[in-house]
Amino acid sequence: GAVVSQHPSWVICKSGTSVKIECRSLDFQATTMFWYRQFPKQSLMLMATSNEGSKATYEQGVEKDKFLINHASLTLSTLTVTSAHPEDSSFYICSAKGQSPISGANVLTFGAGSRLTVL
């Protein structure tokens, strides 16, 4: 139980294009989703927190117009990297917080990550 699917797992795009990454909670409803970014050999940096039906809260230094987050339903949040540039190349990971369908406890489950390479 408490499975999060992240898609695509890797994507290569040209500079200037936009890329959308999806994060789905498959068997539970995620009231909150978190988006992280990880550069090579570094830790995961929280980019933004999104709650279903409301605007995302961005961490300091994260451009909200650059990284568009939509959490339109309790099972889906999307991160769109707009007008991507090579410096946006990174590993992006989402996580979903909700109630486990098995234990009933609040859980925080991570997706497998999406590796973005901007040429």
Partner 1 sequence: SQQGEEDPQALSIQEGENATMNCSYKTSINNLQWYRQNSGRGLVHLILIRSNEREKHSGRLRVTLDTSKKSSSLLITASRAADTASYFCGGIQGFNKFYFGSGTKLNVKP
Instruction: List 103's β-bridge partners, or say none.
Output: none
Mark residues 56-95: x for contact with partner 1 by CB under 8 A, - for none.
Answer: -x-x-------------------------------x-x-x
What is the smallest separation between the CB atom of 56 and partner 1, expressed in angstroms?
12
Q: Which of 32, 80, 89, 117 binds partner 1 (CB under 8 A)?
A: 32
Measured in degrees and rounded to the nearest 5, phi and psi for residue 22 equal -105, 145
Binding residue (CB under 8 A) for partner 1 from 11, 13, 44, 62: 44
96 contacts 23 by C-beta, under 8 angstroms: yes
> Are residues 21 and 47 in contact, defined by beta-carbon separation less than 8 angstroms?
no
Distance between first and last Cα of the chain: 37
Could you list the residues that contact partner 1 (CB under 8 A)? 6, 32, 34, 36, 41-46, 49, 57, 59, 91, 93, 95, 97, 108-113, 115
